[in-house]
Amino acid sequence: METARRRGKRRRLLANRSWRAVPALLVVMLPSHAFPRVSVGRALPAAAGHRNVFSAARNPVLSSPSYPWAMCMPHSIDLKAYLQRIGYDAPVAPDVSTLRALAVAHVAAIPFENLSPLLGVPVELTPEAVERKLVHAHRGGYCFEQNLLFAEALRAVGFEVSGLIARVLWKRAEDAITPHTHMLLRIELAGESWLADVGFGGQTLTGALRLRPGIEQPTPHEPFRLLMVDGDWRMQSMVHGQWQSMYRFDLRRTWPVDYAVANYYVSTWPESSFVNNLVVSRTTADRRLNLRNHEFSVRRMDREPERRTLRDGAQIRQVLEREFLLHLPQHPRLDAVLDALPE
């Protein structure tokens, strides 16, 4: 049994423990709301001059709806509204043809876009927030929002879905070490594993791939394939006759807090491309539309891209509404931000 003297000594040690012992990388990279809420009978005491980040009284974010574990809370997506949003009116069932058809319809209707990070608006990943933004507000989103919404819709249809996380290699060296900043989905169907990804922007997968390495798999657009390299899976697509790696990943389970940390990083880090550039994409049956700041391109299959430089924020707004079918947010800084985009 622990004596009173030893208990007192342990309390004094805890009281004198400094948060400076926490690695600086975690302090910088990990938002306060990424820490799990724990109940141990008493909050850990903070050292003098240091805020106790585990105290809900001192950190209200721990009790807010944006807390990462809210991503796990039960939520019933409005499947009818989602199917209307993507323009899908055929019967749905947990089979391969439905999986592929929903993915194609999704990327044609809901554009990839990063207006929220660009405007400094927090990107919420709770199912309710994602559905509200992408379905009911007719906005788009980036990979976490897109694939979280798609996963909810697939589950409502009856699919067994889990999330994975990847390191992006697109337009980087094959051996580049990049952070986990991309989400994709794994679907179990009739004893076989499939992959879906409606959130990779201008080169996003249309349809679904069998989780099998080394075979070329057709899609409504370019061929794709999966490779195994040094124990990691690698997603590749055929671009101008050459295989290009998009990202690498493994099959370990990914938790909501992993997405929360990655989402916080890419949407707030001052050097993040999503904080400094406008990136928008939409993929229709016969073309891929892409906008990066002032550069708008339309790439039809087996043709060179058609490119156009947009003169100002007014032209950018017009393309966002007409080509990407976006209902733009009512944000007081939107016009100024679009006018100030880098050339």
Among 143, 180, 221, 258, the active-site one is: 143
The pLDDT value given to residue 303: 82
- C-alpha 339, offset from chain centre: 26
**CB proximity list for 233: less than 8 A, separation 6 or greater:** 211, 213, 226, 227, 248, 249, 250, 251
Q: What is the DSSP string of 186-215?
A: EEEETTEEEEE-S-SGGG---S-EES-TT-
* Helix/strand/coil for 283: strand
Among 33, 106, 180, 197, the active-site one is: 197
Q: Which residues of 291-303 are buried (b: 16+ CB within 10 A; e: fewer)?
A: bbbbebbebeeee
How many of the other CB atoms lie within 10 Å of CB of 101?
18
Share of the chain above pLDDT 90, in %: 76
**pLDDT top residue among 2 and 46:** 2
Active site residue 197: yes
pLDDT tens per residue across span 234-288: 999 999 899 999 999 999 999 999 999 999 999 999 999 999 999 999 999 999 9
Pick the CATH number of 71-270 from 3.90.550.10, 3.30.2140.20, 2.60.120.10, 3.30.470.20: 3.30.2140.20
Active site residue 143: yes
pLDDT tens per residue across span 198-213: 999 999 999 999 999 9
Listed by start position, the domains of the chain span 71-270
Among 33, 106, 180, 182, the active-site one is: 182
The residue with tokens 């169907």 is 189
Nearest to 159 by CA among 218, 88, 102, 86: 102
User: Would you say residue 14 has pLDDT above 60?
Assistant: no
- Run of H or E including 4: helix 4-16
